[in-house]
Amino acid sequence: MYRAATALLVVAAVSFAVVAATRQEPANKAADRYPFSSTTVTQLASRLSNTPRPQNRIDSASPLRQISYDQYRDIRTNPEAAIWRNAQVPTRVELLPAGNLFQSPVTVSIVEGGVARDLRPGADTFILGPSVAKPLAGLSLPLSGFRLRGLINSRSTWDEFLVFQGATYFRAVSRGTLYGLSARGLALKTASATGEEFPEFTHFWIERPSANAAGIVVHALLESASTTGAYRFSIVPGTETVMDVNLTLYPRTTLESVGIAPLTSMFYFDESDRSRVDDFRDEVHDSDGLQIVSDSGEQIWRPLANPKQLQVSSFTAMPPKGFGLVQRSRRYTDYQDLEAHYEERPSAWIEPTSAWGPGAVSLIEIPTDTETNDNVIAFWRPKDPIPAGKPWSTSYRIRWSERPRILPAMGRASVTRSGPSFDGKRRLFVVDFDGAVRSTVNELKIEAHTSAGKISNMNLQANPSTRGVRVSFELAPGDATVAELRLRLLKGNRPVTETWLYRWTGS
């Protein structure tokens, strides 16, 4: 849990500016209370897009700029001060302090009966531990975000199920899972030579749910040098935590490199390649693959990699039915980690709920030598730039769960392994498919392709331990340094497994 939070701290720290809290609030604010409607945030975002974005940080002389990460963790949220703690509502809100690497203060407001009220932390909002009690004594701490709690695992424990903190990052869990991968409101210039731009949510409005509500609604104002934006999140936690996201951007400049519905995760290593890792564990990752269902219905699985050099991959040319970063390894024995429990990290699945138009699912894999870095990004990249000067809207759904529910059920690539061939001249690949492969081996046909080199020695056999099948083949790359591999199993002309994709690199 702390590993993922640390990664978000690092990412948020490189963001360059944030609007001051007083700058964000509507012009008709009076005594911290003002009318709020479905158009409040869109009107505000539209108005702010016509002016340059001012910079704002915690004052350089503030102790919050100097405290260490361990000291920051010593500022604890007081559960007795949770918003709606004593109300008959299914959700509680806990505020999070700014400080350390969270240098951009935000405003958090609650909306009740059509009226918004900006929250101001009181003396009882946070509990200061011994390491910060003296330097922060008497200070009114600015906010960096908030968390939501609900009764998602039992009827007696208020468990955390969502947190917004750092740039536009947010994380959610479903019943029985732990925090892992993150989502973002928007990705700009990711993997660009000019450097990534990190938009930030600078003001949140949380609607008070009714006593019998299944979920909660959060609105957010987005600000960056290139655009403003108005977001609405409708969130229903549970066995599958579902978030419906509606957004309208107001670009200040033409947005050339945009990532819609971005997901960010960590992949360090798994059984497919341990050549550069000396670790007691068998696998370390928050997600182990990118899963896509294309517009034609083809089910695609692309195992993740920790490359030696930055890798950027694109899939599909039309909006998919869905895509996501998925954690398939679900057994403790896959990891042997008694602290991190990577087997309990959720998957996140994106479904368009409006017309996205032409574009591609993009996957960026960044080299890392530690599990504390979120080094994998996936998002939808529109083919055409988003022009400046007029609003641009879209919507999508995020499903947080152990694994996405995709129909029809097909054989899944559960494990990918690779190593040298017996004579050392070729590369051996072994892929296990399990689930929904009910045909006998004799009824199945291997369909395998490579973009470079030659494939040989294809073999198909039953795998009794998984009640599935195992496919193996060898790649002779020749002079190629990169080969895109594609594999699936057919019964007649009908696929019975998803399509396995893999990028082999000579390094």
Whats the size of the chain, residue-wise? Answer: 507
Tokens read off for 374: 């979120």
As given in the structure block, the two tokens for residue 19 are 């609007």
pLDDT of the residue at 53? 86
37 Cβ contact partners less than 8 Å away, ≥ 6 residues apart = 114
Q: Could you give the CA distance from residue 504 to residue 265 in angstroms, rounded to a whole number?
A: 21
CATH 2.70.98.10 domain position(s) in the chain: 2-401
Examine residue 408 and say whether the peptide bond preceding it is cis (omega within 30 degrees of 0).
yes
* pTM attached to this predicted model: 0.91
Secondary structure (3-state) at 245: strand
Tell me the one-letter amino acid at 283: E
Burial of 495 (0-12, 13-18, 19+ CB in 10 A): middle
Stretch(es) of the chain classified as CATH 2.60.40.10: 412-505
Within a 10 A sphere around the Cβ of 135, how many other Cβ atoms? 14
Angle at the Cα of 66 (from 64 to 67), degrees rounded to 5? Answer: 70
Task: Write down the CATH number for the domain with range 2-401.
Answer: 2.70.98.10
Copy the structure tokens of residue 75: 């500022």
Please identify which residue in the block is written with the tokens 């070729």. Answer: 426
Cα–Cα dist 25/36, whole Å? 11
Please, what are the averages of pLDDT over each run of 10 residues along the chain (507 residues)?
Answer: 39 31 36 90 97 83 88 94 96 95 93 96 92 89 96 96 97 97 98 93 98 97 97 98 98 97 97 89 97 97 96 95 97 96 98 97 97 96 96 98 93 93 93 81 93 97 89 96 96 94 90
What CATH number is given for 412-505 in this structure? Answer: 2.60.40.10
Nearest-angstrom CA–CA distance, 20 and 263: 27
